[in-house]
């Protein structure tokens, strides 16, 4: 697999495109929004610049990486001749089903279709296509160029050959692929999101403040980032969406989102991306956080 298409130029999409391009793959970065594409390329360029400053890359490698990425806003032309598509659109089932239905029509018969979903069933996504054996989950962690883990999720009909190809490909990216089965939240978020939700409940019940909760988890449990700050970094809307998928999938009240989290999302307090969540984030603070992730 030499030619890749990444759908969605947001935080995860541009990180995935960056990672593939840096490892020599030709990447079509696809988004219906010209503004999102422009911002995505700008983000990749800034993150490559940080890697150059830290002497993780040379200027030549940075330029080669950027030349490997072609921004496009037309899905059909962007995926017609690729070997792998990685979908990194909104964590919304309806949107994903529509994308995969179109991909099944537009892509070559042998193309593998992967989703970066953090919680939605790969089996359900695959059902929108006529190539369920070639549909798989590739759940990258944020920031993608730095984090080593990729959860590889096989749906009910995903073939062994597809799993082996994606596992090998992930290793070529310098990642550690970990195979998991297709249940709501998979492994990472099935464990992480209840912890974040419980931290929000602890704040909601006035047991302690934001900084105090995060400090306990950082100093007492050796977490590099407290759960409330991590929720801000992930996006409170994303956290809420994942919890809702698990609550709906398991019908277990332990996955029910805390009312405080629900209200914050309704109020548009989504974390770093909106400038305010459990913490306040100025533009300079955003840059500081991203820079720290690439150190």
Summarize the annotated binding site as residue ranges.
Answer: 8-13, 31, 91, 96, 118, 142, 273
Q: Which residues pair with 112 in a beta bridge?
A: 84
Our answer to whether residue 90 is catalytic in this structure is no
Of 116, 139, 154, 197, which residue is the catalytic one?
Answer: 139
Task: Say how many Å lie between the first and final Cα of the chain, rounded.
Answer: 30
Q: Which of 14, 28, 68, 189 is catalytic?
A: 189
Rounded Cα–Cα distance for residues 193 and 190 (Å):
6
Q: Is 18 a catalytic residue?
A: no
Provide the sign of the torsion angle of the four alpha carbons 235, 241, 247, 250, taken in this order: negative
User: Does 143 sit behind a cis peptide bond, omega within 30 degrees of 0 on the bond before it?
Assistant: yes
H/E segment holding residue 70: strand 69-72
DSSP state of 84: E
In the residue annotation, 223 being an active-site residue is answered as no
Instruction: Report the 10 Å Cβ neighbour count for 199.
Output: 26
Asked if 194 contacts 254 with a C-beta cutoff of 8 angstroms, the reply is: yes
As annotated, the binding site for NAD(+) includes 8-13, 31, 91, 96, 118, 142, 273
Query: Could you say which of 68, 87, 151, 197 is catalytic?
Result: 151
Give yes or no for a contact between 271 and 231, defined as CB atoms under 8 angstroms apart: yes
Helix axes 283-293, 34-53, angle to 10 degrees: 60
Count of CB atoms situated within 10 Å of the CB of 252: 11
Q: Could you tell me what percentage of the chain is helix, strand and coil, using 3-state DSSP and rounding each to the nearest 5?
A: 55, 15, 30
> Out of 36, 47, 115, 118, which one is annotated catalytic?
118
94: its two tokens: 């309806």
For β-strands 135-140 and 84-87, DSSP reports them as: unpaired
Active site residues: 118, 139, 151, 189
């Amino acid at each position: 697999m030499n030619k890749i298409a990444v759908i969605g130029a947001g935080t995860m999409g541009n990180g995935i495109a960056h990672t593939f391009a840096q490892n020599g793959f030709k990447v079509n970065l696809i988004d219906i929004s010209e503004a999102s594409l422009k911002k995505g390329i700008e983000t990749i360029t800034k993150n490559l610049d940080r890697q150059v400053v830290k002497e993780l890359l040379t200027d030549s490698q940075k330029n080669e990486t950027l030349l490997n990425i072609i921004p496009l806003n037309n899905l059909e032309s962007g995926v017609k001749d690729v070997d792998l598509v990685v979908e990194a659109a909104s964590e919304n089932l309806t949107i994903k089903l529509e994308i995969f239905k179109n991909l099944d029509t537009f892509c070559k018969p042998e193309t593998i279709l992967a989703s970066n979903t953090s919680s939605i069933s790969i089996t359900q996504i695959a059902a929108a296509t006529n190539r369920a054996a070639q549909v798989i989950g590739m759940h990258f962690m944020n920031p993608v160029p730095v984090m080593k883990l990729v959860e590889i999720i096989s749906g009910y009909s995903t073939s062994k050959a597809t799993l082996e190809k994606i596992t090998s490909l992930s290793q070529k990216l310098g990642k550690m692929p970990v195979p998991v089965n297709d249940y709501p939240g998979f492994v990472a978020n099935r464990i992480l999101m209840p912890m974040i939700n419980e931290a929000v409940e602890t704040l909601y019940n006035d047991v302690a403040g934001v900084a105090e909760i995060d400090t306990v988890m950082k100093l007492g449990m050796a977490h590099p980032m407290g759960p409330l700050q991590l929720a801000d970094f992930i996006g409170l809307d994303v956290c809420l969406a994942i919890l809702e998928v698990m609550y709906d999938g398991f019908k277990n009240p332990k996955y029910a989102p805390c009312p405080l989290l629900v209200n914050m999302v309704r109020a548009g307090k989504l974390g770093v991306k909106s400038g305010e969540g459990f913490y306040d984030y100025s533009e300079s603070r955003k840059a500081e956080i991203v820079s720290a992730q690439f150190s």
